[in-house]
Amino acid sequence: MEKQQEIISMFDNIADSYDITNRILSCGIDVIWRNKACSLAFQNMQTKDNINIIDVACGTGDMIIKWQENANKNNININNIKGIDPSEKMLQIAQKKLSNVEFIKNEATNIPLESESADIISISYGIRNIVARQEALIEFARILKKGGILVILEFTKNQNPSLLEKCAMFYTKKILPIVGGLVSQNYKAYKYLPDSIEEFLSTQKLNEELKESGFTPLYTKAFLANICTLFVAKRD
């Protein structure tokens, strides 16, 4: 798809400044959300031994680092962890940070892994960038073992914002593109972020799509004036 290729090219173009820009824009709060996601996933696991984790839209590997750190804290034994992303330049940076992790350049709708081979699949701030989103969710269900856990962290659309939430939306729409553009030298890419949130689903609608794709939602929690939402679901 032409739109999907445009999104992939955009991430290739901002790969070198991606990590530093994210830390500045989120003030490091995204680290707290990632840790929460890992902790909840492990709590809902049927087994704590020899688990296989797939991080989709892994970017530069930030979520994989959090999986490893949280596994160590919770005495979880990771048998294997893989990162999937369609951006070659993002994966090049991820491989430098995590030399012992296997990374696969691929889109989320057709992942070259065996059915029922993963205990956990995560996707952080990537589901809204997948044009054929429902196809990707069905692919996640195929790869996950029965009872396996899907973790989604994403910026979601707020349909009835409070005053605080309107302030957060102002930051996302007006301030974030300017700061992100200055740091990355790519204003268009960081203008895409608020635009993509505006075009994305509500929390309720995404949970409906999860059910339609073979998942049972277990936990849904919005953070920081509903800017970000954590979804934890179990494969039926």
Which residues make up each annotated binding site?
60, 85, 124
Residue showing tokens 């059910």: 211
- The beta strands (E) that lie in the chain are given as 51-56, 78-85, 102-105, 118-124, 144-155, 215-223, 228-235
Q: What whole-number distance in Å separates Cα of residue 59 and Cα of residue 17?
A: 12
Phi and psi for 61 in degrees, rounded to 5?
95, 10
Rounded to whole angstroms, the Cα distance separating 24 from 230 reads 21
- In angstroms, rounded to a whole number, what is the distance separating the alpha carbons of residues 179 and 171? 10
* Length in residues, the chain: 236
Query: Which residues does the annotation place in the binding site for S-adenosyl-L-methionine?
Result: 60, 85, 124
Alpha-carbon distance 69 to 74, whole Å?
9
